[in-house]
Structure 1
């Protein structure tokens, strides 16, 4: 039995949620093991899929500074016991969703959430987006008369649970009014925020990550957690944590990528290399000071934001991580919209002068053109 059904095989999940569940299982503090599902159908990832569920697990190497001291340790992650793909294993995935799952967890690509023409088909098709595939699984569970469950997206999208619920309800309505009501009333869509720099993939499975880790989950009636772990925090409201993460750490990453692309985009360039360049680091520090922190001050949590900036700069400068700007640059346009464009909209709503953010404005204008 696998009470956790996970969509996504990213190195991030391998060193985050999957690792937490593995550590908690060893202490009897987890729901149980995981079935992981590859939803893209990419045959190039087949080896990774097989390795995730291999006997003995896969390695995660933790490198960095912890309480001021350099650490390096390897953890074996053994929480994944079954690995499937929607392309060929859909009937078995449906069975697990109906008979075993208590939580459906996801961390899919940005494009995986984008609406697709196949989304409105009455039955499953591989070309569906992740929300449409999830809708099909929930429909099967509803028809089987099964109890509700928790859906827990871990994508870096503000209010990700609310956003996923809205899309599922949009798709569920034409399928069945009773099903739509069941989704609305009985299924818990948890808002959550994940935070850990996972800099390298190991082959065929595994990852290298920093010591810092957070999984913040918003309180909700009927919420089921995958495990109990020191990195998991249940909070009454995610907004403050989301704003700090998205508009300081993630915004900083995207700002660095924009500058890197402007300079020609050397594929070997690392985040720590940017931090070692005095001019680039000074520019980023000034960006935070003059274009970012005033908005957090206007929102009423300037002190928290200033502390988070200091932590973020330290994490960026981690000398042990091979964190490539070329990796962060994936889906760059969408990241500009979510991390910088949304920040500027938030700033405007708080009465912050748009002209006080010239560098952020330039990035948005360049992307728009």
Structure 2
């Protein structure tokens, strides 16, 4: 560490220390560059005047590092926005405190006492909004995010206080409705009573959302140079593209309670977010989830490198135009324009978006981001989408433990694959596993054979050869 540089701390704060109005489950790169950044923009204009209490939702995390910097960090925005080049950095002052339920559960429950808190945001990945039948109210804490949330809501209810505006940012469809359903399921499982159920329904609003901002995270290759340029140390620099859109489905009253739009941010509050979601998840997240396993197996590390590689560029471009766009029920020109914008964002020379970060919890991502397109394509074309199927085969190779890198996923998914890879019929058993995919994928004729064929090519000639062979085929 360069001793001449000062450590980022409270002496860098410029805004007042506002009262805590937000509970945020998750301290990762995305929420810090998306939600906390937007709260900062409102606070700078005096529109919100609120801070954030960050809850670390899993046992291991980054909250202690945040605390060492007095909960400050820097966002670095680089890229193009509305055709203009953007290079900007800003110290984010939105976070007031961090809470670690696995170390101090009572401090977590004490958040229920704070009358200033109105909002709950979360991003616990697609795997986070899930029901765990082993969770109990007496756990300190519960394993699942919805279990922890239910315990906090019950504490709030017992205190006779008002409810919350609950806004999950996990990238699953109907995330707000799903989260509410699981909370109510815990209320029943834990026998918390009809009064509590009524309070959940009447005093709390759950919103469905769509979030969109590419956040590569910590710029490790440039961090030392950036610190020298800024003249301070920051272990939590988070890099992001300038573009963002935040689509929220629910009561329009939120626009006044949370004046993001008034602050000039690209926020849409609507009664139907599905057109926005289908476009984004299909054409941005889908290609990400496709390229991640295939390109990593070929030794490629970043999205930018994928887009500079002639083989992989054609592969992803063809996936967009031949396998995805024909399945999305929106005007073709609108989809074409969006696809070109996505490619520009993928090619952003300032965003070093690592494929390994996209690969976290890949199985739930495949189910949420690619499987719907796979099914729509099969129903429409009466054949298998070759590129999405190659991605599926690549995941099966990686999760079988046959890659140069290990998969990063939930303990439950990793345990399931540990059992599956002992089977002689690994491919068939894995594709048929409803725990992984939500349904039996062997119902699609020819899928077992095509996945086996893809795996053979990858094993013998490499994933690049598999990409080249698909590129050469006429769709």
TM-score, shorter chain, exceeding 0.5: yes
Give the match's secondary structure for 2:290: helix
On the 8 A contact 2:105/2:140 being kept in 1, the answer is no
The verdict on how the C-alpha distance between 1:196 and 1:154 changes in structure 2, with shifts beyond 3 A counting, is same
1:356 shift after superposition: 5.8
Give the match's secondary structure for 2:64: helix
Gaps in structure 1 of 5+ consecutive residues: none
The verdict on how the C-alpha distance between 1:354 and 1:185 changes in structure 2, with shifts beyond 3 A counting, is farther
Matched, 1:252 2:287: yes
Partner of 1:291: 323
The verdict on how the C-alpha distance between 1:218 and 1:52 changes in structure 2, with shifts beyond 3 A counting, is farther
On the 8 A contact 2:210/2:246 being kept in 1, the answer is yes
Partner of 2:38: 20
1:58 shift after superposition: 1.6
Distance 1:52 1:220 in 2: 37
Distance 1:95 1:31 in 2: 22
On the 8 A contact 2:125/2:171 being kept in 1, the answer is no
Instruction: Say what the alpha-carbon RMSD is for the aligned residues.
Output: 2.1
1:200 shift after superposition: 2.3
Alignment equivalent of 1:240, drawn from 256, 261, 275: 275
1:150 shift after superposition: 0.8
Partner of 2:159: 144
Give the match's secondary structure for 1:35: strand
On the 8 A contact 2:66/2:73 being kept in 1, the answer is no
On the 8 A contact 2:74/2:91 being kept in 1, the answer is yes
Q: Which has more radius of gyration? A: 2
Partner of 2:64: 47
Partner of 2:413: none
1:46 shift after superposition: 4.2
On the 8 A contact 1:53/1:83 being kept in 2, the answer is no
Give the match's secondary structure for 1:252: helix
C-alpha distance after superposition, 1:200-254 (max 9, x if no partner): 2265323011111111111326547444231322122110111111111000101
Matched, 1:198 2:212: no
TM-score w.r.t. the length of structure 2 is 0.71
On the 8 A contact 2:291/2:391 being kept in 1, the answer is no
Distance 1:317 1:118 in 2: 44
Matched, 1:113 2:129: yes
Partner of 2:239: 208
Partner of 1:220: 251
Distance 1:300 1:116 in 2: 37
Give the match's secondary structure for 1:61: strand
The verdict on how the C-alpha distance between 1:177 and 1:221 changes in structure 2, with shifts beyond 3 A counting, is farther
Mean CA deviation greater in 161-170 or 222-231: 222-231
Give the match's secondary structure for 1:59: strand
1:363 shift after superposition: 3.2
Higher relative contact order (CA 8 A, sep 6+): 1
C-alpha distance after superposition, 1:1-58 (max 9, x if no partner): 311111100111111110110111011111511111112121x62433315643xx32
1:365 shift after superposition: 5.7
Distance 2:382 2:109 in 1: 49
Distance 2:128 2:374 in 1: 26
Partner of 1:271: 303
Give the match's secondary structure for 1:315: helix
Gaps in structure 2 of 5+ consecutive residues: 1-18, 220-233, 397-429, 432-475
The verdict on how the C-alpha distance between 1:49 and 1:123 changes in structure 2, with shifts beyond 3 A counting, is farther
Matched, 1:33 2:51: yes
